[in-house]
């Protein structure tokens, strides 16, 4: 078994260190960081926007580059949080508090460095976890039948609702809406066009790029244009950054936080529906609880940077475990990555590991290499990021719009896709106004067709008997877990905690 | 012909029989809406009810089948039903709930400008070519912002076009015509 892992990792590294793949990894990480640094554009929109860059690559190169973009944006987000007090994306919201406080004390260098070191540590642990847990999970997953898959997806979606911000009932509505949007297109079994309103361009269904760009790109720009009076309010650090490296005391203080943050991130990352945001938030809360002097937090405590940064990176890495082995994405970005695989002609699922070991292990190895690159790349480039942050928003948003338009159009060369993006953009803007969380919608949109197919198959095998979902043990276990999640939500004390957490994170 | 209209010569006069019911329905509705504390949830609930109803209505065209042999209408009809029910619960609960607030006004100008820019691009690539389409997109989009300086916008557009052509046409070779003469 261990020998297996070593030989597998060797295969992975030999794939990943080929000059071409190293180059893709580098470009992905660099471009990802660049976009992550810019406030107001998150990982989902970034990956969707840059998807066309990978069309001409082979599958391995494409997935390596896209995952590089993903953790690059995550990391770039923390740079912005520390330097400007603006979260580049939602997972770095907590980093703002102590990171920016440190920066104001002239300790931006150590804050950035500890974020990088914490992320690298978490990334390394995450990579090992993927390598260790991937194969056995894939083996279990190969035994899954239609009922198991259906129940697993129900669990993933409910978990996403529980862990999301805001009202759970509204989030479940968004999930159902996502499933309905997933129905648009030709029904595979009957060949009937559903919800297409007669448009032939919708016969193949809506492209996830369209939905993602609309809900996350277009809508986000609309709300930014309304909220922010250009960049006047941006508080860019003008002090020179001196002393990049943290001191020995810093390292000692941060070490425990990094380890705990990594553990928390790994836990939430592996859970379907959990993601970097909730990991970062929980890790921060844990550190504050454990600290001898909690009042230091918010005033530049290094643990307050180390823990959430390690946690969100661990979560990003561990998200690959279930995504790659089960073929079930558990977040919007992972859904995009799987979509990219599908475009490359690879059906995501447990069979990927046996059929395309170079892809699977190459990706794992490149994740580690990518994390190392992030450390090496970011510290020297801080100056460049600061310059980038000084670009006013009035130049940024037309550029983002241009890239989005090209990204959407290039998927199918279809003008209808552009018009649908507008529709989803306006819809996404309305969702923002009504405080409806769009991320679960996109997850449900991707899972929708899979869910319908597995439901159909499960009921076909059981001759229409719905008890099949509870008489098969694995499927029953998933449903019991789902029921537990839902009961937790009804228990008042837990519910209050969650509401407090949500309120806290909104107040930040 | 409505009763009141033919009697009076004044064109602005509309008899109470005609307006009383719609206006009072509207007025009751308006007062009712104003009383709701959680406007966000109320409208969100209504929106979900609407989508649910739409899904059910559209699905009536597709055969339902049975549980063991699901037709194309089966899954969407059930989803629509779930959505309608949950949406109604959200809307009803908003009548009592304390949290949540008023909905902030919509930014109409950016919404229209960004949409027009996108339409220009979507239609334009095939009809007037990649570069003119990008030009339209960039300029119209930039007009959605608060500041619009012609020189600034033109320079930015030129940079964007140069970058986009470099990356997408020469770099990854997307098959778009550059101009209308191809």
Residue A400 pLDDT class (50, 70, 90 cuts) = confident
Asked if A185 contacts A301 with a C-beta cutoff of 8 angstroms, the reply is no
B134 and A426 within 8 Å at the Cβ level: the answer is no
| A401: chain B residues, CB-CB within 8 Å | 114, 117-118, 137-138, 141
Is B121 found in the same domain as B80? Answer: no
| A433: chain B residues, CB-CB within 8 Å | 40, 103-104, 106
- Which of these, A98, A51, A56, lies nearest to A78 by C-alpha position? A98
Residue tagged 């769009």 (tokens): A438
Q: Which of A5-19, A318-332, A385-399, B5-19 shows the lowest per-residue confidence on average (mean pLDDT)?
A: B5-19
| Predicted model pTM | 0.82
* B163 domain-assigned: yes
| A420 in contact with chain B, both atoms CB, cutoff 8 A | no
Asked if A296 contacts A404 with a C-beta cutoff of 8 angstroms, the reply is no
Q: In the listed set B74, B96, B118, which residue is the last one of a domain according to the structure?
A: B96
Asked if A95 contacts A83 with a C-beta cutoff of 8 angstroms, the reply is no
Is B118 found in the same domain as B91? Answer: no
Its domain, for residue A341, covers: 2-507
Its domain, for residue B21, covers: 3-96
Asked if A463 contacts B68 with a C-beta cutoff of 8 angstroms, the reply is yes
Q: How far apart are CA A337 and CA A66, in angstroms?
A: 7
DSSP secondary structure code for residue B173 in this structure: -
Q: 10 Å Cβ neighbour count for A354?
A: 12
| A500 in contact with chain B, both atoms CB, cutoff 8 A | no
Q: How far apart are CA A39 and CA B77, in angstroms?
A: 40
* B47 domain-assigned: yes
Is B87 found in the same domain as B9? Answer: yes
Is B63 found in the same domain as B139? Answer: no
| B168 in contact with chain A, both atoms CB, cutoff 8 A | yes
**Predicted pLDDT at A233:** 46
Is B86 found in the same domain as B14? Answer: yes
- Candidate from B75, B144, B157 with C-beta closest to A455: B75
Is B65 found in the same domain as B44? Answer: yes
| B93: chain A residues, CB-CB within 8 Å | 169
Asked if A300 contacts A105 with a C-beta cutoff of 8 angstroms, the reply is yes
Task: List CB contacts of B40: < 8 A, sequence separation 6 or more.
Answer: A433, A434, A435, B94, B100, B101, B103
B138 and A230 within 8 Å at the Cβ level: the answer is no
| B106: chain A residues, CB-CB within 8 Å | 429, 433
Asked if B36 contacts B95 with a C-beta cutoff of 8 angstroms, the reply is yes
Count of domains forming chain B:
2
* B101 domain-assigned: no
Exposure letters B90-123 (e unless 16+ CB within 10 A, then b): bbeebeebeebeeeeeebeebbebbbbbbbbbbe
Is B153 found in the same domain as B77? Answer: no
Q: In the listed set B47, B75, B96, which residue is the last one of a domain according to the structure?
A: B96
Is B10 found in the same domain as B89? Answer: yes
Is B126 found in the same domain as B57? Answer: no
Q: How far apart are CA A468 and CA A428, in angstroms?
A: 37
**Predicted pLDDT at B53:** 94
* B180 domain-assigned: no
> Mind listing the pLDDT tens digit for each residue in A170-227?
889 999 999 999 999 888 888 888 888 878 888 888 888 888 888 888 888 888 887 6
Q: How far apart are CA B81 and CA A375, in angstroms?
A: 50
Is B28 found in the same domain as B7? Answer: yes
| A410 in contact with chain B, both atoms CB, cutoff 8 A | yes
Count of domains forming chain A:
1
Is B82 found in the same domain as B21? Answer: yes
**Predicted pLDDT at A232:** 41
> Mind listing the pLDDT tens digit for each residue in B115-161?
999 999 999 888 898 999 999 999 999 888 877 888 889 999 999 99
Task: List CB contacts of B31: < 8 A, sequence separation 6 or more.
Answer: none
* B165 domain-assigned: yes
- Which of these, B109, B118, B129, B105, lies nearest to B39 by C-alpha position? B105
DSSP assignment of A55-113 equals TTS-HHHHHHHHHHHHHHHHHHHHHHHHHHS--SSGGGHHHHHHHHHHHHTT-HHHHHH
Q: How far apart are CA B106 and CA A313, in angstroms?
A: 36
Angle, helix A146-163 to helix A168-183, in steps of 10 degrees: 140
| A53: chain B residues, CB-CB within 8 Å | 167, 172
């Amino acid at each position: 078994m261990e020998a297996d892992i070593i030989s597998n990792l060797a295969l992975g590294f030999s794939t990943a260190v080929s000059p071409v793949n190293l180059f893709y990894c580098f470009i992905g990480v660099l471009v990802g960081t660049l976009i992550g640094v810019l406030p107001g554009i998150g990982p989902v929109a970034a990956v969707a926007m840059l998807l066309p860059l990978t069309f001409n690559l082979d599958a391995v190169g494409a997935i390596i580059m896209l995952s590089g973009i993903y953790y690059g944006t995550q990391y770039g987000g923390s740079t912005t949080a520390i330097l400007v007090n603006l979260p580049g994306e939602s997972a770095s919201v907590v980093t703002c508090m102590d990171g920016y406080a440190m920066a104001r004390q002239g300790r931006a260098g150590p804050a950035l460095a500890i974020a990088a070191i914490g992320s690298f540590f978490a990334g390394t642990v995450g990579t090992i976890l993927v390598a260790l847990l991937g194969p056995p999970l894939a083996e279990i997953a190969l035994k899954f039948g239609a009922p198991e898959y259906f129940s697993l997806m129900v669990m993933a979606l409910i978990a996403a609702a529980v862990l999301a911000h805001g009202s759970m009932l509204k989030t479940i509505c968004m999930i159902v809406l996502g499933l309905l949007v997933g129905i648009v297109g030709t029904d595979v079994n009957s060949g009937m066009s559903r919800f297409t309103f007669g448009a032939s361009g919708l016969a193949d269904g809506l492209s996830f790029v369209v939905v993602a760009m609309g809900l996350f790109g277009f809508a986000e720009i609309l709300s930014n244009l309304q909220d922010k009076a250009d960049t006047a309010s941006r508080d860019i650090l003008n002090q020179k950054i001196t002393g990049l490296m943290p001191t020995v005391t810093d390292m000692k203080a941060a070490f425990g936080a990094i380890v705990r943050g990594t553990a928390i991130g790994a836990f939430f990352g592996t859970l379907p529906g959990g993601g970097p945001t909730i990991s970062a938030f929980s890790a921060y809360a844990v550190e504050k609880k454990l600290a001898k002097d909690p009042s230091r937090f918010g005033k530049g405590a290094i643990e307050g940077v180390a823990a959430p940064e390690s946690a969100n990176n661990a979560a990003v890495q561990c998200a690959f475990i279930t995504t790659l082995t089960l073929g079930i994405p558990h977040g919007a970005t992972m859904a995009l990555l799987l979509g990219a695989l599908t475009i490359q002609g690879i059906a995501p699922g447990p069979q990927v590991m046996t059929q395309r070991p170079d892809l699977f292990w190459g990706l794992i190895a490149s994740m580690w290499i990518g994390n190392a690159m992030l450390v090496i790349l970011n510290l020297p480039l801080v100056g460049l990021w600061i310059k980038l942050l000084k670009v006013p928003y009035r130049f940024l948003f037309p550029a983002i719009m241009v890239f989005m338009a090209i990204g959407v159009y290039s998927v199918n060369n279809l003008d209808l896709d552009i018009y649908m993006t507008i529709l989803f953009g306006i819809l996404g803007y309305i969702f923002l106004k009504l405080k409806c969380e769009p991320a679960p919608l996109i997850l449900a949109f991707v899972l929708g067709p899979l869910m319908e197919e597995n439901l159909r198959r499960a009921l076909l095998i059981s001759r229409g008997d719905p008890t099949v979902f509870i008489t098969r043990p694995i499927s029953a276990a998933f449903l019991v877990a789902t029921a537990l999640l839902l009961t937790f939500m009804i228990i008042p004390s837990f519910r209050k905690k969650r509401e407090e957490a949500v309120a806290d994170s909104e107040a930040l | 012909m409505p009763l009141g209209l033919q009697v009076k010569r004044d064109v602005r006069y509309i008899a109470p029989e005609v307006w009383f019911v719609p206006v009072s329905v509207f007025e009751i509705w308006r007062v009712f809406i104003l009383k709701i504390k959680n406007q966000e949830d109320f409208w969100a609930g209504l929106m979900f009810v609407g989508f649910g109803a739409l899904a059910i209505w559209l699905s009536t065209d597709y055969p339902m089948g049975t549980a063991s042999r699901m037709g194309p209408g089966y899954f969407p009809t059930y989803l629509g039903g779930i959505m309608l029910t949950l949406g109604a619960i959200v809307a009803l609960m908003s009548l009592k709930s304390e949290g949540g607030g008023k909905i902030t006004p919509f930014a109409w100008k950016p919404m229209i400008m960004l949409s027009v820019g996108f339409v220009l691009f979507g239609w334009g690539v095939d009809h007037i070519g990649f570069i003119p389409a990008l030009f339209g997109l960039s300029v119209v989009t930039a007009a959605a912002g608060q500041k619009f300086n012609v020189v600034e916008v033109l320079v930015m557009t030129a940079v964007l076009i140069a970058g986009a052509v470099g990356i997408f046409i020469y770099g990854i070779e997307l098959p778009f015509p550059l101009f209308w003469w191809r």
